[in-house]
Amino acid sequence: ALAGLPGVAQAAVIYHRKSGFGGKIVAFVNGTAAGAAIKEELRRRLPSYMMPEDVIVSDGLPKNANGKVDRKALTAQYGEKHGN
């Protein structure tokens, strides 16, 4: 759903575990769309339990050695900025 939105060139989603019990869904987007617009459109397309709590728009997503989006790097990057 995320990758199919207008203005989204590339997207990845991680589940960021919080200290203790639970966690949250975090979406990373490369493109021209704004985070608020992305969340608004996703509300129309997804059930509430699949909605990302945070949408982070960046200039690019990190890649691993195989050229795929490096979700481990995204998880580490998000954890550094937003606490574990």
Sheet with strand 23-31: strands edge to edge: 8-17, 23-31, 54-58
Instruction: Note the pTM of the prediction, 2 decimals.
Output: 0.84
Task: List Cα–Cα distances, 48 to 10, 23, 44, 51, 82, in angstroms.
Answer: 22, 15, 10, 5, 22
Mean pLDDT, 10 residues at a time, the chain of 84 residues: 89 86 89 87 92 90 91 87 69
User: What does the alpha-carbon distance between residue 13 and residue 76 come to, in Å, rounded to a whole number?
Assistant: 13
pLDDT at 84: 60
- Predicted local confidence at residue 41, as pLDDT: 92
Q: How far apart are CA 60 and CA 84, in angstroms?
A: 23
Question: How confident is the model at residue 32, as a pLDDT?
Answer: 86
Cβ–Cβ under 8 Å, residues 27 and 54: yes
